[in-house]
Homo-oligomer: A and B are copies of this chain.
Amino acid sequence: MGKVLMKGNEAMALAAIKGGCDAFFGYPITPQNELPEYLSKHMQANGRVFVQSESEVAAINMVYGAAGAGARVLTSSSSPGIALKQEGITYIAGAELPAVIINVMRGGPGLGGIQPSQGDYKQITRGGGNGDYYLYSLAPESLQEAVDLIKESFEIADYYRNPVMIAVDGLIGQMMEPVDFDHEVKKWDLKPKDWVADGDRKSHPKNIINSLYLDPTDLENHNLKLKKKYDDMKANHQRYEMINMENAEIAIVAFGSTSRIARTAIQLLKEQGVNCGILRPITIYPFPEKAFKELPKEVKDLVVVEMNTGQMIDDVKIATMGTHNIHFYGRVGGIVPEAEEIVDAVLKARGESNE
């Protein structure tokens, strides 16, 4: 199978099938509808499970059940739909179940709009549900990367027994690009799922899937156990890409489709004699703090570019703790910045700090 031209949503759906997804549960919402639509056709054809649930709340709880029974499960939605899933997500994290969740972000808050956005950065990276938990969160910038990461995400979810969030925006969902579905992706070292509660008592003793710990000492221990996972993610599985950073004098920090636009921007900047790098977080949780340690000394200014009002700035601040000047350029509400706007933002930041 060579490269195939597909719509992002469909490519992500096919990637899930290739990643061994056993079951999909979801509810329609723009701009991700082609994803469940594709799966409604192709999951059943492959003997796998597709259910259009009555709501996002039901979908995420179906995910809980199927994951608890040992399935590789996917759900997808867009911003307000993800907001509705928050209770279910915290349950899945609390019960230590693997699951993959795709958020094709649109403008908010509330019903907002249906155009591309990165406005859920905090919802995704800080957890919108209750309690101490995090989602391993991946933000691909192209369809090829989305496909590769989704295939791998089922491995990661199983490895950590924790939900993995794929954070993309309407651009990725709606665009078409040629994709190679047969890229090898990393296989994680997985233990057998001996903890499943699937009724198959011929193969295992009684299992319980649960997030309730009425005894505070038990719950504290449980919380500390979860924290270890998050610490491990932070220590060992930050992902990022450094683009054009060797001789950079300034750098953009951008994730997902915004970083693609930034790629065009740095070409334009080069034409103007400005050497600008891009620090591209691939995991937005854990945030790639390590990348900031690798910035060349010449880079004193960081221009954060997002399709929101600046939600990643906090993380950049935490990663740098005062070592860099942080600038911001953002567009909101479904407006996608053009490369020229980013160029101007970089030039302005450069000007300011040269003043």
Residues of chain A touching chain B, judged by Cβ–Cβ distance below 8 Å, are 57, 79-80, 82-84, 86-87, 90-95, 105-115, 117, 119-120, 122-123, 126-133, 210-224, 226-227, 308-309, 311, 314, 317-318, 321-323, 331-335
Report Cα–Cα, A112/B113, bound state, in Å.
35
A110 contacts B123, CB within 8 Å?
Answer: no
Q: Which residue of B lies closest to A214 (CB)?
A: B113
Cβ 8 A contact of A213, one of B80, B113, B126, B223: B113
- Copies per assembly: 2
Q: List 24 A-B contacts (CB under 8 A).
A: A80-B129, A80-B130, A82-B130, A84-B87, A86-B128, A90-B110, A91-B111, A92-B110, A93-B109, A107-B213, A107-B219, A107-B223, A110-B131, A111-B211, A113-B213, A119-B132, A128-B128, A132-B311, A220-B331, A220-B334, A220-B335, A221-B333, A317-B321, A322-B323
> Do residues B110 and A91 form an inter-chain contact, with CB atoms below 8 A?
yes
Q: Which residues of chain B have C-beta atoms less than 8 A from A106's C-beta? A: 130
- Evaluate contact between B114 and A214: CB separation under 8 angstroms: yes
Contact B86 A212 (CB under 8 A): no
- Residues of B within 8 Å of A332, CB to CB, are 132, 219-220, 223-224
Decide if A130 touches B123 in the complex (CB within 8 Å). yes
A115 and B227 contacting across the interface, CB-CB below 8 Å:
no
5 further A-B contacts with Cβ under 8 Å, apart from A83-B86, A221-B333, are: A80-B91, A119-B132, A216-B334, A217-B333, A220-B335
Residues of B contacting A111 in the complex (Cβ-Cβ under 8 angstroms): 91, 94, 210-212
| Closest Cβ–Cβ distance, residue A295 to chain B (whole Å) | 16
Bound complex: CA A80 to CA B107 (Å) = 25
Query: What is the distance, in angstroms, from A137's C-beta to the closest C-beta of chain B?
Result: 14
B131 touches A120 (CB 8 A): yes
Nearest-CB residue, chain B, relative to A331: B220
Q: Which residues of B contact A91 (CB under 8 A)?
A: 80, 109-111
Q: Give the residue name and chain of the B residue nearest to A77 (CB).
A: B130
Using Cβ atoms and an 8 Å threshold, which residues of chain B touch A114?
Answer: 214
Whether A130 contacts B79 by the Cβ 8 Å rule is yes
| Closest chain B residue to A92, Cβ basis | B110
**A314 touching B311 in the complex, CB below 8 Å, given contacts A113-B214, A114-B214, A128-B123:** no
A61 to B133, CA, bound (A): 27
A321 to B316 CA separation, bound complex (whole angstroms): 11
Q: How far is the CA of A219 from the CA of B213 in the complex (A)?
A: 43
Contacts A131-B79, A317-B318; is A94 near B123 (CB within 8 Å)? no
- Identify which of B108, B113, B122, B130 contacts A216 (C-beta below 8 A): B113
